[in-house]
Amino acid sequence: MTTAIAHSNIALAKYWGKRPGLGNYPAVPSLSMTLGGMTTRTRVVLREDLHAHALVLNSVLESGEPLERVSRFLEDLRRESGATSFAWVESDNDFPTASGLASSASGFAALALAASAAYGLDTDPKTVSHRARRGSASAARSLFGGFVELAAGPLAPTGEEFLGAVQVAPEDHADLSLLVCVVSEEKKKIGSTSGMGTTAAISPYYAAWLEEAPRLFRKARSALLAHDFTTLGTITEASALAMHASAMAAGVFYFKPITLTLFERVRELRSDGLPAYATADAGPHVKVLVPSASAAQVGAALREVPGVLHVRCMQPGPGARLIVDDEAHEPGPIVPGNHA
Ligand code: DP6
């Protein structure tokens, strides 16, 4: 049995849209902060008695699309290793799953690392990041701690080109916090893969997004390295708004009224002199980037907004890692449905 843990990451300059073709290569570069919390813990056991991969997510045995996606991912690793055994996977998140809180990022990062180790494959972060990207592009970034970039893929990928994320700056580079305002425990209705697919297919503003996103990425990256928080925050908010505008023009809505209320509240706080910038992903939650010195004051203001369930304050955290799993553990029973 091998166990890995990985944390979510939140993009300051967003990835939205894929290169056409195989291999899940992003169409734009992205820059993220890996969080010190919002953790996925994934155990992988290779079992001779299974005839298909099995996935237990937050103690529930999965079937359908979540299992198929994970199985496709694991098949690549099984083939690469030459092993015959299928994998029994148990994965737990300490935060709401599939609701726009980057559970696929921490999920595929932890899975890529635990399964690479279980199948006896290379576990250096660069290689595992490349593998994780094939499962979910944002997951490539969670292999590394601190501030991380993932470049855009080649224009017409064959699926074979290497593309993993790279650390831009370590965890202690900037004393920043991200206030994660959770506004719903519901699963999102449109996953990011399908949301960005629809955006690329029908949004009249997708071409504008493809042009703008690399510029925003470059500005965010240099502002981060120059410790220019105002520019970094401004670009973080601009990237989220440009991404959502292109998605909304295709009828892909992740915002709820509370999302807009929070963006508005963050603007008010800024005009009152508090440094805070909002971002949102494929869900209604709002994440607010602040210098850590202002986190308590901004967090208190956000907690008062009606409809906010809770606010978690996250600092930059470490990349995915294998851990010694000392919890007594019985791998689950053989599942009749898995005997293909
Ligand atoms: C809005 O990485 O979930 O969070 O590669 O299809 O799995 P797939 O997409 P995913 O998309 C993340 C989109 C985002 C922005 C970001 O994290 O960069």
Q: Which of 14, 192, 279, 286 to probe ligand 1 with, by most ligand atoms within 8 A of CB? A: 192
What integer pLDDT is reported at residue 187 of this predicted model? 76
Ligand 1 atom closest to the CA of 193, numbered from 1: 6
What pLDDT is recorded for position 103?
77
Atom of ligand 1 nearest to the CA of 282: 1
Write the burial class of residue 272 (CB in 10 Å: 0-12 exposed, 13-18 middle, 19+ buried): exposed
Both tokens assigned to 183: 């506004």
Look at residue 335 and tell me whether its pLDDT is greater than 70: no
Whether 151 has a pLDDT exceeding 60, the answer reads yes
CA 337 to ligand 1 center in whole angstroms: 31
Residue 328 pLDDT? 52
Pick left, alpha or beta for residue 273 (phi over 0 → left; psi -120 to 50 → alpha; otherwise beta).
left
Q: What is the pLDDT of residue 242?
A: 98
Q: Is the pLDDT of residue 102 over 80?
A: no
What is the arithmetic mean of pLDDT over 2-7? 98
Q: What gap in Å lies between CA 102 and CA 98, rounded to an integer?
A: 7
Q: How far is CA 271 from CA 56, 275, 335, in A?
A: 47, 9, 57
pLDDT score recorded for residue 339: 32
**For 245-255, what is each residue's pLDDT tens digit?**
999 999 999 99
Pocket probe for ligand 1: among 131, 133, 138, 178, the residue whose CB has the most ligand atoms within 8 Å is 138
Residues 164-200, buried b or exposed e (16+ Cβ, 10 A)?
bbebbbebebbebbbbbbbbbeeebebbbeebbbbbb
Q: 54-57 and 86-93: which strand pairing?
A: parallel
Instruction: Determine the 3-state secondary structure of 141 from DSSP.
Output: helix
Grouping H, G, I as helix, E, B as strand and the rest as coil, residue 26 is strand
Q: Which of ligand 1's atoms lies nearest the C-alpha of 26? A: 5
Predicted confidence at residue 86, as pLDDT, reads: 98
pLDDT given for residue 331 in this prediction = 56
Helices 295-303 & 257-271, crossing angle to 10 degrees? 140
pLDDT score at 214: 98
Residue nearest to ligand 1 atom 8, measured at CA = 136
Q: Is the pLDDT of residue 330 over 80?
A: no
Q: How many angstroms is it from 24 CA to the middle of ligand 1?
A: 11
Q: Give the pLDDT score at 334.
A: 47
Count of positions (residues) in the chain: 340
Residue 325 confidence (pLDDT): 83
Average pLDDT, the chain: 94
Q: Which helix (H) or strand (E) holds 195?
A: helix 192-202
Q: Quick one: which of 137, 155, 135, 184 has its CA closest to 14?
A: 137
pLDDT in tens, 22-58: 999 999 999 999 999 999 999 999 999 999 999 999 9
Comparing CA positions, the residue from 210, 195, 46 lying closest to residue 114 is 46
Q: Whose CA is nearest to atom 14 of ligand 1?
A: 281
Residues with a CB atom less than 6 Å from ligand 1: 11, 14-16, 24, 30, 104, 136-138, 192-193, 281-282
The ligand 1 atom nearest the CA atom of 10 = 17
243 has pLDDT over 60? yes
Q: What is the mean pLDDT of residues 213-218?
A: 98
pLDDT at position 329, please? Answer: 56
Tell me: pLDDT of 338 over 90.
Answer: no
Rounded to an integer, the average pLDDT of 286-308 is 98
Beta strands (DSSP E) in the chain are: 2-13, 30-47, 54-57, 60-61, 86-93, 147-150, 166-169, 176-182, 277-279, 286-291, 310-314, 321-323
Stretch (H or E) spanning 263: helix 257-271
Q: Lowest mean pLDDT of 6-20, 107-121, 173-187, 288-302, name the range.
A: 173-187
pLDDT in tens, 219-236: 999 999 999 999 999 999
In the prediction, which pLDDT does 8 show?
Answer: 96
Beta 147-150 vs 30-47: how paired, if at all? antiparallel
Q: What are the tens digits of pLDDT across the range 309-328?
A: 999 999 999 999 999 987 65
Which residues lie across from 258 on neighbouring strands?
Answer: none
Task: Please tell me the predicted confidence (pLDDT) of residue 60.
Answer: 94
DSSP class of residue 329 equals -
Residue written as token pair 């529930």: 60
> How far is the centre of ligand 1, averaged over its atoms, from the C-alpha of 81 (Å)?
27
Q: How far is the CA of 16 from the centre of ligand 1 (A)?
A: 6
- Residue 185 has a pLDDT of 81
Q: Atom 2, ligand 1: which residue's CA is nearest?
A: 138
Query: Among residues of the chain, what percentage have pLDDT more than 70?
Result: 94
Ligand 1 mutation target, pool 15, 25, 99, most atoms within 8 A of CB: 15
Burial (CB < 10 A; 0-12, 13-18, 19+), residue 327, is: exposed
Which atom, in ligand 1's list, is nearest to the CA of 24? Answer: 5
- As a whole number of angstroms, the distance between CA 170 and CA 151 comes to 18
> Rounded distance, CA 277 to CA 254, Å?
18
| C-alpha 282 – ligand 1 centre gap (Å) | 8
- The Å distance, Cα 138 to ligand 1 centre, comes to 5
